[in-house]
Amino acid sequence: MSILIISGIEGVRNCAEAFSKQLEMKVEVAEGRRAALAALRRKEFTAVVVDESLAECDPAGADAIWERSGLAIPLQINFAVSGAARIIREIRAALHRREREQATAMRAATASIERDLKNTVSGLLLQSQLALSQGGVPAAVAEKLRTVVALAGTLRRQLSAQPQPEDASVRSAPR
């Protein structure tokens, strides 16, 4: 996990070192649009922080950076008026927000898959039982259908018995 800071402000490399220590992440600095785009081509970043003055002076360049930043968290911060502590808080808040969003998306995806599986298993169970209730089913086929019914029933019980995963970030959040 690393952060890309795009700023031409004097002392930004010193700030990057402080950010790196405080956030315990690698921080790279690009002093302009070209360097930023080259860095974004080389690797993926967790967050891309663009100095507001650079974005205002070169809006097309800022747009190009945002378009190529992929899944990185986009942040636009005014380095001229923000101290290092505030920038660190902004980055940290954005990283935590992303973690919460990912956890929420994971829970939603899990619930959706679980619902789909339960519906499929219920349909399989129902159709297998209906096929067994029909007369004239050969014995070998009936035995296989009973096996399918048993497997589907077992799977249904396992799906119903699964506890919902609790989000660790919610559990440890200060109240």
pLDDT in tens, 14-38: 989 999 999 999 999 999 999 999 9
> Which pLDDT score, from 0 to 100, does residue 174 have?
42
| The pLDDT of residue 169 is above 70 | no
**Reported confidence tier of residue 170, pLDDT bands at 50, 70, 90:** very low
| The pLDDT of residue 171 is above 60 | no
- Which residue type, as a one-letter code, is found at position 145? L
Percent of the chain predicted with pLDDT > 90 = 59
- Orientation angle between helical segments 84-133 and 139-161, nearest 10 degrees: 150
* Residue 166 DSSP symbol: P
> Which pLDDT score, from 0 to 100, does residue 83 have?
86
Residue 27's H or E segment, with its range, is strand 26-30
Q: In what order do the strands lie in the sheet with 73-77?
A: 26-30, 2-6, 47-51, 73-77
> Which pLDDT score, from 0 to 100, does residue 135 have?
82
> Which pLDDT score, from 0 to 100, does residue 25 have?
94
Please report, for residues 55, 108, 156, 168, the alpha-carbon distance to residue 113 in angstroms, rounded to integers and kept in the order given: 41, 9, 14, 21
- Radius of gyration over alpha carbons of the chain, in Å? 27
**Reported confidence tier of residue 163, pLDDT bands at 50, 70, 90:** low
Mean pLDDT of the chain: 88
Note the pLDDT tens digit of each residue in 98-146. 999 999 999 999 999 999 998 999 898 888 888 888 888 898 988 998 8
CB atoms within 10 A of CB 13: 12
